[in-house]
Every structure is written in C-alpha cells, then in structure tokens.
C-alpha cells in the first residue's frame, strides 16, 4: 500500500488562524544559513533524550497471533480511530502535503519504496507507504537545493504506528530526526530520536487525562499533535517557519475530539472514561461529554503551525 502526500487534498485541512498565517508568510532568514545550521547543529547529550526501551513490533513476527507489544493483546480491528493518523508535511513553514493513513499496522514515511530484503524486514507489505512530497513545490531555488540535500539522508525514513496506547516511531534514516509530543521529558531542549529505537511520542491516555483537567479548570488545553523535524534541532528558538522539513502527526480519533471540543455544545459535566467501555465507544461518548455550557477558550502551548 502506498500513498503520496501532496497538495491535492489540502482543501480538507482546517484553516489556520489569521495570526498563524501572518506568522508563516513572513520572509524566513536567508536560506544560505540553512545548510550551516544543519552542519553545525550538535546532537543533544544522549542521557537527555533517551526514553525507556519499548518492544519492537515492526520486525516480522513468526506468527500473526503474537501480541504487538508485551502486555498488549492482539490488535482489535474495530479501533480504527486509534490506528489511523492524519499527517501534514511542511516545508519551510508552508503546508505542502496532507494525508490520512488507512492501514492499522502503521506506515512508513520515506522517499521511495523499500527494495532490499533487509528493508522488508522493517517494512513489510502490511505497512502503508507514504512518500515525502516533492521538493519541486518549494519556490526558492536555494532552499529547494538544500532540501534535496537533506532528502539524501532520509532515504530509509521512519516507521509510525498508532494504537489506543498512543503513537510510536522508529527512526531508520541516517539523517537526524527531532520531535515534540506529550511524552517529552524535557520541553526546553531538543529531543533527538535514536536510530533503530522505538519511542512512544504520544500518550493517548495522558491526553484524555489532561483534557479532563482542562475542563476542571486545572490546566491548559492539551496538545494533541506530534511534530517531527528532520535534519535540524527541535524544539529550539528557531521559528517553525524556518525549519526545512516538519511532519505533523495526529491520531484521527483525538483530532475529532479536539474538533468537537471547539464546537458550541451543551451537556452535563465531562466524565472520566469508564474502564469497561470499548475504546471505540469511549471516543464517541467523550465527544458528547467534553463540551460544557461554560465554554472555555481553546488554546495550545505551541501554535506556530496549526491545522
């Protein structure tokens, strides 16, 4: 299964805030600085960005009946809202591609189809293949050239898997990949993915707990999206519009919850999820429960790029 993220379906993307658009269309720093940034950008100390090891379910299993993860039963096919992801591609702050995944086993984001036997070990035919949008969409020639050079280090790409526990990633490419998500230990420094290590970059249960606290007036509206930055340190002080390649990932069901939270609705006070409910039923019940008669403004800590 393969898909190419392109601008043909951009009409499906929710419009950005006007302030966000104004921020994005500002002229970025001289593109000649990009290559220097990539070359001189040091990797953060390993102890500051290493997450607990997670079993790797992308390696081919001898039996399809084996669990995807230790302690996790075989994947339930009806939990499509958790397995599907909405992925947006940004080149230098401009939205250049948008795609929704359809494969419950996960996807691979890379430049081309895996060919060698070794590659298939990590990306079986069951995985959906998503290609980076072409650099031809970049208007600035120098910026286009540098992005192509970065592509040369992203050939093997990354693997993504989403389930009711959250979003998981495995970096295969030579080029460095940095990320932000609600599982970050440090929010004030770059977070680098180690190569061939499975990392949980989004925790679904944590999102719903934070959402409950928000409606109890105990916190901010939680961030539902994960951001991947290829080749450059992130997060840092550099504006998102200046990053060469950003990929934004969000679980479909969580995205729907966020959209519902932004609509005008009235119901009783929100309730915590019930343990014996199916996750599928939970999502749709939360749709009704998260809205209250005293609508609070929804804002996020990181809104430079919002869809």
Whether 1 shows a pLDDT value over 70: the answer reads no
Q: Return the higher-pLDDT residue of 172 and 279.
A: 172
The pLDDT value given to residue 133: 97
- Residues with Cβ within 8 Å of residue 51, at least 6 apart in sequence: 183, 185, 197, 199, 200
Mean pLDDT in residue range 35-39? 53
- Report DSSP letters for 40-71, one per residue: H-PPPPGGGTPPPP----SSPPS-TTS-SBTT
The pLDDT value given to residue 116: 54
The pLDDT value given to residue 263: 74
Q: How far apart (Å, rounded) are the C-alpha atoms in residues 214 and 224? A: 13
Mean pLDDT in residue range 4-29? 41
Mean pLDDT in residue range 82-93? 96
Whether 63 shows a pLDDT value over 90: the answer reads no
The pLDDT value given to residue 128: 95
Mean pLDDT in residue range 215-234? 94
Q: Considering the domain 2-50+76-289, what is its CATH architecture?
A: Sandwich (2.60)
Name the strand (E) or helix (H) holding 3.
strand 2-4
* Contact indicator for 64, 55 with CB cutoff of 8 Å: no
The pLDDT value given to residue 32: 52
Q: Return the higher-pLDDT residue of 7 and 226.
A: 226
* Contact indicator for 113, 125 with CB cutoff of 8 Å: no
- Residues with Cβ within 8 Å of residue 3, at least 6 apart in sequence: 99, 101, 128, 129, 130, 131
The pLDDT value given to residue 187: 86
* DSSP-H helix ranges across the chain: 18-24, 32-40, 80-83, 117-122, 141-151, 204-215, 252-261, 279-289
* Contact indicator for 233, 184 with CB cutoff of 8 Å: no
207-211, 249-253, 286-290: least confidently modelled range: 286-290
The pLDDT value given to residue 112: 78
Kindly state the percentage of the chain with pLDDT values over 90.
Answer: 47
4-18, 26-40, 186-200: least confidently modelled range: 4-18
- Residues with Cβ within 8 Å of residue 59, at least 6 apart in sequence: 121, 122
Whether 62 shows a pLDDT value over 50: the answer reads no
The pLDDT value given to residue 3: 64
pLDDT tens-digit profile of 97-132? Answer: 999 999 999 999 999 766 654 555 554 568 999 999
7-11, 84-88, 175-179: least confidently modelled range: 7-11
Q: Return the higher-pLDDT residue of 263 and 182.
A: 182
The pLDDT value given to residue 146: 95
Q: Which segments within 150-275 are labelled E, that is strand? A: 158-163, 166-171, 177-180, 198-203, 226-230, 245-251
Whether 153 shows a pLDDT value over 50: the answer reads yes
Whether 190 shows a pLDDT value over 90: the answer reads yes
pLDDT tens-digit profile of 230-270? Answer: 999 999 999 999 999 999 999 999 999 999 887 733 343 44
- Look at residue 179 and give its three-state secondary structure: strand
22-31, 102-111, 180-189: least confidently modelled range: 22-31
The pLDDT value given to residue 217: 87
Environment class of residue 16 by beta-carbon count within 10 Å: exposed (0-12), middle (13-18) or buried (19+)? Answer: middle
The pLDDT value given to residue 56: 60
Average pLDDT over all residues of the chain: 72
Query: And the tokens for 35?
Result: 């290559």
Q: How far apart (Å, rounded) are the C-alpha atoms in residues 204 and 167? A: 8
DSSP class of 26: S
Cis bond leading into 228, ω under 30°? no
Single out the residue of 110, 98, 64, 105 nearest to residue 84, CA to CA.
105
């Amino acid at each position: 299964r393969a898909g190419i993220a392109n601008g043909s379906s951009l009409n499906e993307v929710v419009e950005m805030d006007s302030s966000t658009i104004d921020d994005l269309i500002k002229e970025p720093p001289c593109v000649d600085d990009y290559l220097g940034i990539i070359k001189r950008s040091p990797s953060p100390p390993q102890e500051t960005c290493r997450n607990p090891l997670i079993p790797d379910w992308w390696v081919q299993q001898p039996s399809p009946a084996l669990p995807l993860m230790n302690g996790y039963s075989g994947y339930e096919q009806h939990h499509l809202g958790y397995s599907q992801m909405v992925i947006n591609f940004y080149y230098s702050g401009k939205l250049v591609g948008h795609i929704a995944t359809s494969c419950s086993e996960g996807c691979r984001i890379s430049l081309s189809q895996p060919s060698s036997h070794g590659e298939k070990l990590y990306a079986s035919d069951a995985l959906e293949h998503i290609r980076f949008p072409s650099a031809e969409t970049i208007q600035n020639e120098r910026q286009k050239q540098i992005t192509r050079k970065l592509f040369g280090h992203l050939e093997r790409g990354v693997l993504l898997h989403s389930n009711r526990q959250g979003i998981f990633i495995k970096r295969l490419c030579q080029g460095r990949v940095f990320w932000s998500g609600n599982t970050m230990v440090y929010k004030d420094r770059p977070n680098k993915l180690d190569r061939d290590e499975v990392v949980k970059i989004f925790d679904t249960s944590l999102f719903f707990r934070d959402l409950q606290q928000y409606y109890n007036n105990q916190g901010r509206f939680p961030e539902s999206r994960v951001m991947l930055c290829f080749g450059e340190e992130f997060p840092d002080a550099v504006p998102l519009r200046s990053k060469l390649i950003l990929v934004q990932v969000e679980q479909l069901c969580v995205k729907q919850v966020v959209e519902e939270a932004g609509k005008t609705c009235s119901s009783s006070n929100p309730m915590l999820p019930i343990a014996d409910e199916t996750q599928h039923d939970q999502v749709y019940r939360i749709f009704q429960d998260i809205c209250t008669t005293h609508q609070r403004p929804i804002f996020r800590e990181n809104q430079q790029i919002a869809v």
